Amino acid sequence: MTDNIKLLVVDDEERFLQTLTKRLSMRGFDVTPVNRGADAVKVADQQSFDLALVDLKMPGMSGEEVLEAIKEKHPDMEVVILTGHGSIDSAVECTKLGSYTYLQKPCETEELLQVLKDAYHKRVQRKLQLNEDKVNEMLNLAQGESALGILRKLRDLEKNKEK
């Protein structure tokens, strides 16, 4: 089930980043590794990702700042924070800012995989819910209307969205 899950991994430690990328790619994730926060934000704007795994402590743009920037523009993307020893408080803060959860480094591959799968599941569920809401909205709209009436309502809705 991890095939084609698009994952952005951000960490300033080059070796750790490489190891993680290799491990997660082997498990079927479509991994894009970057080692600077600013690059992560740029790449997230250019391509679409399901998930991001973000190191908290990085020179330049911090993991917290990356989280905020990503969540602002791509609220659907689930973000998992990686934190070293001693930064748990900041990691907890990140969950208040919208991260899915955090993991302490070094983390076990199995635990990481489970967390990423759960985060992906949450994203899928949320998308389904959005679709369901849309369908319900349509059904409400359609109640008691002729086909032509429905089309008119839809047209008006679209016009209002354009404003």
Q: Tokens standing for 120?
A: 């992906």
Please give the helix or strand (H or E) that residue 32 lies within, else none: strand 30-34
Rounded to the nearest whole angstrom, what is the least distance from the CB of residue 51 to Mg ion in the complex? 19
Which CB atom, from 59 or from 144, has the smaller least distance to Mg ion?
Answer: 59
What is 118-162 written as a DSSP string? HHHHHHHHHHHHHHHHHHHHHHHHHTT--HHHHHHHHHHHHHHHH
Which CB atom, from 88 or from 151, has the smaller least distance to Mg ion?
Answer: 88
Which CB atom, from 27 or from 36, has the smaller least distance to Mg ion?
Answer: 36
Rounded to the nearest whole angstrom, what is the least distance from the CB of residue 105 to Mg ion in the complex? 8
Rounded to the nearest whole angstrom, what is the least distance from the CB of residue 56 to Mg ion in the complex? 7
Q: Is 21 helix (H, G, I), strand (E, B) or coil?
A: helix
Helical spans, DSSP H, in the chain: 14-26, 37-46, 63-73, 88-96, 109-142, 147-162
User: What residues make contact with Mg ion under the rule CB under 5 A?
Assistant: 12, 55, 57-58
Which CB atom, from 12 or from 65, has the smaller least distance to Mg ion?
Answer: 12
Rounded to the nearest whole angstrom, what is the least distance from the CB of residue 55 to Mg ion in the complex? 4
